[in-house]
Amino acid sequence: MASPPSTTTTYFFFLLLLLNTAAVVRSQSYIGVNYGVTADNLPPPSATAKLLQSTSIGKVRMYGVDAGIIKALANTGIGITIGTSNSDIPALAADLNFAKGWISSNVSPYYPASKIIIINVGNEVLYYSDENLKTQLLPAMQNLQNALEAASLGGKIKVSTVHPMSVLGQSEPPSAGRFDPKYEALLKGFLEFNKATASPFMINPYPYFAYQSDPRPDTLAFCLFEPNAGRPDSGTNVKYMNMFDAQVDAVRSALNAMAFPDVEIVVAETGWPYKGGDTEHGATIDNAKAYNGNLVAHLRSMVGTPLMPGKSIDTYLFALYDEDLKPGAGSERFFGIYKTDLTSIYDIGLSKTGQGPLATAPAPALSPPADAPTTGGATTLPTNSSTTTTPTTTPPNSTIPQYSPTARVNASKNAGSLNTIAISFIAIVFLAVTSML
């Protein structure tokens, strides 16, 4: 007969449980944020680092290499994703020594104190018309990977690239998601690289841009994770309840169809502007709070998506701050979650000291505003801090993911309360442990 566990064993069991629960409350490694620098009023890196440490944000993505921020994040445990510029791709592809020099200048001085986890080679390269750049992208990634290995960093830092959602040729329903045939040959090479190096396939889903061109009455609620009738997927008999899940699952289906079921998806950008131009319907502070807040709650719920249940995809919110110098549509300058004075523009429950239930955003109207299109119109693809895209015209019945009906699992409106429960549980466990000493 086995002996009962000793007091010491029990103590360590409870201590482990306590630490694990504390980790749930204090941070979420799957919640990231984009840090863009197309602005003239950003706070100093040290202040930004302190802001990030006060939140449950576990990762930061940059579009280039900002030495100030990288140094400021040293020894914080916050994961850092950096990037090469699109203009660096030809040199990276042609010359391994150039790639080694890039690692020597931009990674080695900071790692491992600064937790660099991913290097993105370029950004949304497949969106642009430069065919040479597209064919040079994979050799550039391979050379950068070889340079990491030469620096004894292979396997410690991943190499990837970020793709636009327009790489999908079909996305509705999500189970029928497929890549555009014109990209398949290129994507096969990228995916073989992702699989061989265990690096993620990174994508930019934006339900906001879907709403701009989808006139169905419940689209706004569907995009904001708010109550709606849902949209069925005839291929799986699943009813999707939000656009984010459907867009991500359309990518999952496309990866599976190309026989890469084990390649991980990372959401490199997603967000909602709180202000925009006169014709940018839906760009309001209430909608931005609802989308980002409900997305954070959905991620914390660990429900996952219908095709990837029981886990939360690493997701980088766009963006930490507004970027007042960005060109393009008015909304491009108003995606920030925090002001540059370090106060929040709207609260989505990211503060470590305030991770209780998220306030419910005002219920959205279940019909498009007066300026919304009455038929499918121009599809505005997401833009970012390193490049600004221009609208492209898409037929009303386009299957680009911005039109796809989406996701079955509703983010729990009370998912944020998990943290409150966890805090209470920590107190109970602490009392239990102390009573045994």
Q: How many Å apart are CA 242 and CA 295, to the nearest integer? A: 10
Q: Is 323 a catalytic residue?
A: no
By CB atoms closer than 10 A (0-12, 13-18, 19+), residue 81 is buried
Residues of the chain by 3-state class (helix, strand, coil), percent to 5:
40, 15, 45
- From the list 226, 269, 280, 332, the catalytic residue is 269
Q: Do the beta carbons of residue 348 and residue 93 sit within 8 Å?
A: no
- The two three-digit tokens of residue 19, written as one number: 């630490």
Distances (CA, A) of 106 to 38, 82, 151, 157: 20, 9, 12, 13
Cis-peptide, bond into residue 205, ω within 30° of zero:
no
Q: Tell me how long the chain is.
A: 437
CB 208 within 8 A of CB 282: yes
Q: For residue 269, indicate whether it is catalytic.
A: yes
CA dihedral in degrees (24, 30, 31, 36; nearest 10)? Answer: 150
Structure tokens at 64: 């280039």
- Beta pairing, strands 178-179 & 168-170: antiparallel
Residue in this structure with the two tokens 């994979």, named with its chain if needed: 138
Beta strands, E only, 132-176: 158-164, 168-170
Hey, what's the torsion of the CAs at 290, 291, 297, 303, to 10 degrees? 140
Count of CA atoms in the C-beta half-sphere (13 A) of 378: 9
Estimate to the nearest angstrom the gap between the alpha carbon of 282 and the chain centroid: 21
Given a contact cutoff of 8 angstroms between Cβ atoms, the answer to whether 320 and 338 are in contact is yes
Cβ-count burial of 8 within 10 angstroms (0-12 exposed, 13-18 middle, 19+ buried)?
exposed
By CB atoms closer than 10 A (0-12, 13-18, 19+), residue 161 is buried
Active site residues: 124, 269
